[in-house]
Amino acid sequence: MQIQTGKRIELIDITKKVQKYISETEVQNGICVISTKHTTTSIIVNENESGLASDILTLLDKLIPAHAGYAHDRIDNNADAHLKAVMLGSSETIPVIASILLLGTWQSIFLAELDGPRTREVTITVVSND
């Protein structure tokens, strides 16, 4: 699944796209692995609330400011994006029951763009337990 991002750093809610993908498979019960193919993006699960999204991005910039003397900046100038991606992780695994992602009321799945904007590839793998 391709996602076009619009900013250098942002959270994009991909829950509906993942659910649509599952709905188009024959799988009723199993697990869904959502994974990014990039080293400067992450997949996370949290609440879709604009203030919280801002807080998460602000925290990442406080913990890992850009251009803080990183070795990787000498060849690619985006070390902070890689380091943020390491902290957040590259995939999430969500149970699927009756063809529905088993998320809590306040849980959404996000692609975290950390060095955009770019076209990004997110892989969805559904493993059936039917």
Instruction: Write out the residues near Zn ion by the rule CB under 5 A.
Output: 76, 78
Minimum distance between the CB of residue 117 and Zn ion, rounded to whole angstroms?
A: 16
Residue nearest to Zn ion (CB): 76
Q: State the greatest distance between any 2 C-alpha atoms of the chain, in Å, as a whole number.
A: 51
In the complex with Zn ion, the residue whose CB is nearer, 79 or 122, is 79
The whole-angstrom separation of Cα 21 and Cα 33 is 12
CA angle 110, 123, 37 (to 5 degrees): 85
Tokens 């957040």 belong to 88
Minimum distance between the CB of residue 72 and Zn ion, rounded to whole angstroms?
A: 6
In the complex with Zn ion, the residue whose CB is nearer, 55 or 76, is 76
In the complex with Zn ion, the residue whose CB is nearer, 24 or 76, is 76
Minimum distance between the CB of residue 76 and Zn ion, rounded to whole angstroms?
A: 3
The whole-angstrom separation of Cα 87 and Cα 81 is 10
